[in-house]
Amino acid sequence: MNIGCVRKLVPYRHGSRLLVTVAAILALCASFGSVAAQPPAGGGPGAGPPPAPSANVSVFATGLQGPRGLRFGPDGALYVAEAGMGGTTSTIGQCDQVPEVGPYTGGKTARISKIDASGKVTTVAQGLPSARDGMGEQSAVTGVADIDFIGTTLYALVSGGGCSHGNPDVPNEVVKVNADGSTTRITDLSAYIKSHPVAKPNPADIEPDGDFYSMIQVGGNLYVVESNHGDLIKVTPDGTATRVVDFSASQGHNVPTADVYHDGNFYVSNLSTFPVTGNSKVYKVTPGGDISVVASGLSAVLGLAYDSQGRLYALEMSTVPNQGPVPGSGMVVRMTAAGTWEPVATGLFFPTGMTFGPDGMLYVSNMGFGPPTGQIVKVNVNVAPTAGTGAPAGPPPTTAAPPAAATPTPPPPAVTPALPPAPKPGQYFIRRLGDG
């Protein structure tokens, strides 16, 4: 399929690799084998910025660096995993590199932030592994992917570690965050992935250290989703890791992304492949590892949540049919009693994670891919998503810095490597979750 392909074709063989450029000349050339620049949700070349989000969406906090998974802590504050800005350390010649978009360059710029009720952002932990892929101006970053609590103890899922990500000294891992901001490794996920291969890996484009995306706490244990190989893994507080289900064995390369627990079962979303065609699903996974499809008709799902009434919500990163990821087309949808999906929030800019707050509001990581400065938005799920009239939920002007009170403390210079040049204005990047 060719839909008016112009400029900067980004070749890759596998449609589920989340890598896209929205360039000055905005167009699309998408097929199972390639993706190019995408137009904004509002139209084609020259159509201007993406639309404003629906009127029930408001900005809660800014100044985040690649916000991903988020969770409210026992203290009532919102904690956010951040991918960081990558780094410059190369491991070429030391280990297997990631095909196609590699080699990665690593650094210690990922972090975890805490946001109080007023939206003030402070740093909880920093200096964590972050990795930038090798696509130059089109590069994107992976770092801390998700967080959750067991009791009052915070745990983090690190996805920017490992030799293949330019961080040979720190693997992909689950860590415990200590009171002083230091971290203690619970389990080495890079080693687990290598010693427990899935039934049907995709060797043409595989992450040797894995590509971990989400993590939830259930019954005092942590359950981790790995997207590239296709795994749901249980991790106990003492570091024991065991497989719950190998998605590849029965579903092929479906790129699982987010997990949630409800009524005694796990529910896991998948990304599917690009162009976006509504092929994403929600799977029910029993504690014994049995899989069944419970919902379909979704696009590029990166988050799941249940509200206090037991209603299922899905976070769609992009929703324009038959295209690659399009900024401003992200949505939150809710399953109705009739089994259909209804919109709850629209006009989101590459959203990457969501969680309900104690106030009943839905909090969403927005601009999680692409712009160097991300944000958390708040969605009133009890108000219909009428058209917004404010500014687009895109990046702030390049000349404007976020308010000082809302800017997390940067990592100390001693542990911060020199970074590649910042993306040019008008360009936003999405880096894949699960190969494809």
322 inside domain:
yes
Report the percentage of the chain scoring pLDDT > 70: 77
238 inside domain:
yes
Radius of gyration of the chain (CA): 19
68 inside domain:
yes
425 inside domain:
no
320 inside domain:
yes
Beta bridge partners, 268, equal 259, 283
pLDDT score, position 30: 27
The model's pTM: 0.84
pLDDT score, position 135: 83
Please determine, for residue 339, whether its predicted confidence score (pLDDT) is greater than 50: yes
Counted domains in the chain: 1
The model's pLDDT over 324-335, given as tens digits with 9 standing for 90+, comes to: 888 999 999 999
Average pLDDT, the chain: 82
- CATH at residue 301: 2.120.10.30
Cβ neighbourhood burial of 264 (10 Å; 0-12, 13-18, 19+): exposed
373 inside domain:
yes
Domain that holds residue 304: 10-417
Gap between the Cα atoms of 11 and 353, Å rounded: 27
Gap between the Cα atoms of 338 and 431, Å rounded: 35
381 inside domain:
yes
| H or E segment and range at residue 318 | none
pLDDT score, position 387: 83
Q: φ, ψ for residue 180 (rounded to 5)?
A: -90, 5
Gap between the Cα atoms of 57 and 364, Å rounded: 10
436 inside domain:
no
- Laid out side by side, the sheet with 221-226 consists of 212-218, 221-226, 231-235, 241-246
Strand-strand pairing, 141-142 and 221-226: unpaired
The model's pLDDT over 389-435, given as tens digits with 9 standing for 90+, comes to: 655 554 443 333 333 333 334 433 333 334 444 433 333 334 444 44
Q: What is the mean pLDDT of residues 205-219?
A: 95
